[in-house]
Structure 1
């Protein structure tokens, strides 16, 4: 495919109308159909059977060849978006979050408002600065092995349905009603702005969560949260509960990709480097969040190209994870890439 003539190297390339429709049909529509808040297993299976992610990656490769590796402007009817095609531009946008690229995009707000209206992901910059340390402490993001890993491992060995116990404590073991409410609310969240928020169910769900937060059972994630705060912790914990769903899918993929002997060969204690590498590879090959969204809060630049305030940013993860033109291991599991804690990209 011949590249388009470039008249102004500083001007961002703009996708043609036919190419914009191709992106909508091949990238955006399948992602929405799979479910952005609650996965739709039947659609996931259909997408896997038809290789929709592969087709999307191939399309973006074609567009990169046609328009170049800079951000690609998409003139959608509701508002303009830019599609990133260069990993360096991805790194820039993520490093410049929350300003000038906020994670609290209009699309994300409408989806998460059904479930967690005060969550850190859709919070303003000042509120985000208050909430983020709370999440990082509870999840021990600065430690390779979580302080409660041994306790969580005992729970996992004891039973398959562990999410409620890990997040809320043993008292939530039989509380299926809170999981049922969570499932219903997430289903509405898939429809974003097209569905009204079920305020009564949301209030009931948050009330149930509040009881576990008040108790703060020792050995649960909520035990690591602050007490008597105004941080809307129900919205923060709700995200942990639903985030375990796709994470569990990757755990299953990791189990299928490794053996008991290999998994146990990576060291003692709770840190198993080989198993960690297999899990990270499972997330790379089947990302839990297929699309990362950002929104420009002011006029700014990406890779030297001007981005107008209010423009959305689309990062389609499978493209960067499975780009065979850039990665020689794009479509197969290579846990050795994570041996030193960070991937050794070629």
Structure 2
């Protein structure tokens, strides 16, 4: 019999307590794990600082710190000093599953950091909500994004859009080498067309304003003197967004708003921003997967063979073709596992939780270092290599500690849609030719680095020239 929050039901013995990190351990954790993740940007990447953290190999040092804590204190949670006070640091895969599989009413997602950060961007966002607000907003997001469905109801159009925008990058420009900014601009157009409609395709000002807000959100409310300017920026962005929501392009997510149930607490216009934030996840996954395929010939050959077979059978940019590309989709998933877009999953407890035989009162923060668990070489044989096949045989898919898109009740409502867009975009780039990469060194014969630094990255796509007749 299990405890209601997912933990073992054994009663705690008198005097049982969880281990507490020492002052030195807390300092090392802050310097090697917490601070680098903050500096890289929580809501929007800070490229220069991310490059600096990569050169310092901060991710590897952070993982070493976490392994050291587990060796000294055992596999159970360790009480540490986090950015928002006492925090349970989850170092065991079983405990990670307890948190992620537990109810969000107990393991709440609206931590202080998220609430303060989203206050600048979208205070009504699902991820900063709790209780009834979260329930109705989650229902709205699930309905619009077709959460849990293999393909979105508008996937036929969305895959065409992803293909068109990726194809627009091909040719001499791609042969010379694409950088991360070019790929991001293409995916932002995908987002504007699919989320807001064709009228928003060229509205780069909307994306610029959102980027400005996300950059401010990185400060998590620590710059109150910027509040008035931030409100003005948000007002301008929301005015542009309202124009597209009013037009309700039927081939976009905005076009689904009129027929989707809403409650007084739903704030439908307040959910859109987070969908655009998720495009950063799609962008990272595409760039990382393309780079991995360019540097791993065996996986590239299998992905191309699958793509060509699906195109012959169903045609390019089709739903049926997408469904016949599970390996390419798995490449996207494993790229996100190796370098997760959100390396730490934060929760706050609202009631007593139990960790094996130790009961902990509610009101503490819980940190699940998702990046650490996905690259835990002491537990996972494929931790440091590109292994898309592990998503196909269920090894990765069934491992709750591997959670690049979170899990359980807090899993991203748009996970399936994000995978569709990423896979469709990546497929079109591979149709364009053979990828080659410069600025990043990845080798199938060596453990992959803990950090993916895209600041110097250039991906060339060389079109396959038809052979001349003899």
> Structure 1 length normalisation: TM-score?
0.91
154-163 or 17-26, larger mean C-alpha shift? 154-163
Aligned equivalents of 2:217, 2:309: Cα separation in 1: 40
Answer yes or no: is the 8 Å Cα contact 1:134–1:225 preserved in 2: no
1:4 corresponds to which residue?
A: none
Picking from 199, 219, 225, the partner of 1:171 is 199
| Higher RCO structure (Cα 8 Å, ≥6 apart) | 2
Mapping for residues 94-109 of structure 1, pairs under 5 Å: 94-109=100-115
Mapping for residues 77-96 of structure 1, pairs under 5 Å: 79-96=85-102
Instruction: Deviation per CA, 1:175-211: give whole Å up to 9, x if none.
Output: 1211111011101000002023422222222222222
Mapping for residues 293-312 of structure 1, pairs under 5 Å: 293-312=346-365
Aligned equivalents of 2:284, 2:211: Cα separation in 1: 16
- Aligned in 2, Cα 1:85/1:112: closer, same or farther, shift over 3 Å? same
Aligned equivalents of 2:137, 2:84: Cα separation in 1: 31
Unpaired runs of 5+ in structure 2? 1-12, 166-185, 294-299, 311-319, 400-470
2:247 corresponds to which residue?
A: 215
2:304 corresponds to which residue?
A: 261
Q: Secondary structure at the match of 2:221?
A: helix
Q: Secondary structure at the match of 2:149?
A: coil
2:280 corresponds to which residue?
A: 245
Q: Secondary structure at the match of 1:294?
A: strand
2:59 corresponds to which residue?
A: 53
Aligned equivalents of 1:337, 1:78: Cα separation in 2: 36
> Structure 2 length normalisation: TM-score?
0.68
Mapping for residues 267-286 of structure 1, pairs under 5 Å: 267=310, 268-271=320-323, 272-286=325-339
- Name the Cα RMSD after superposition: 2.2
Aligned equivalents of 2:48, 2:348: Cα separation in 1: 31
Shift of 1:212: 1.6
Unpaired runs of 5+ in structure 1? 1-6
1:195 corresponds to which residue?
A: 223
Q: Secondary structure at the match of 1:252?
A: helix
Instruction: Deviation per CA, 1:21-42: give whole Å up to 9, x if none.
Output: 1111111000000100011122
Aligned equivalents of 1:318, 1:282: Cα separation in 2: 12
Q: Secondary structure at the match of 1:193?
A: coil
Could you say which structure has the larger radius of gyration? Answer: 2
227-236 or 120-129, larger mean C-alpha shift? 227-236
Q: Say whether residues 1:143 and 2:149 are aligned partners.
A: yes
Aligned equivalents of 2:238, 2:397: Cα separation in 1: 43
Instruction: Deviation per CA, 1:138-178: give whole Å up to 9, x if none.
Output: 22222112222221221122222322112111110111211
Q: Secondary structure at the match of 1:264?
A: helix
Q: Secondary structure at the match of 1:293?
A: strand
23-32 or 85-94, larger mean C-alpha shift? 85-94
Aligned equivalents of 1:342, 1:136: Cα separation in 2: 26
- Aligned in 2, Cα 1:152/1:342: closer, same or farther, shift over 3 Å? farther
45-54 or 66-75, larger mean C-alpha shift? 45-54
Answer yes or no: is the 8 Å Cα contact 1:111–1:190 preserved in 2: yes
Answer yes or no: is the 8 Å Cα contact 2:84–2:112 preserved in 1: no
Mapping for residues 312-327 of structure 1, pairs under 5 Å: 312-327=365-380
- Aligned in 2, Cα 1:69/1:199: closer, same or farther, shift over 3 Å? same
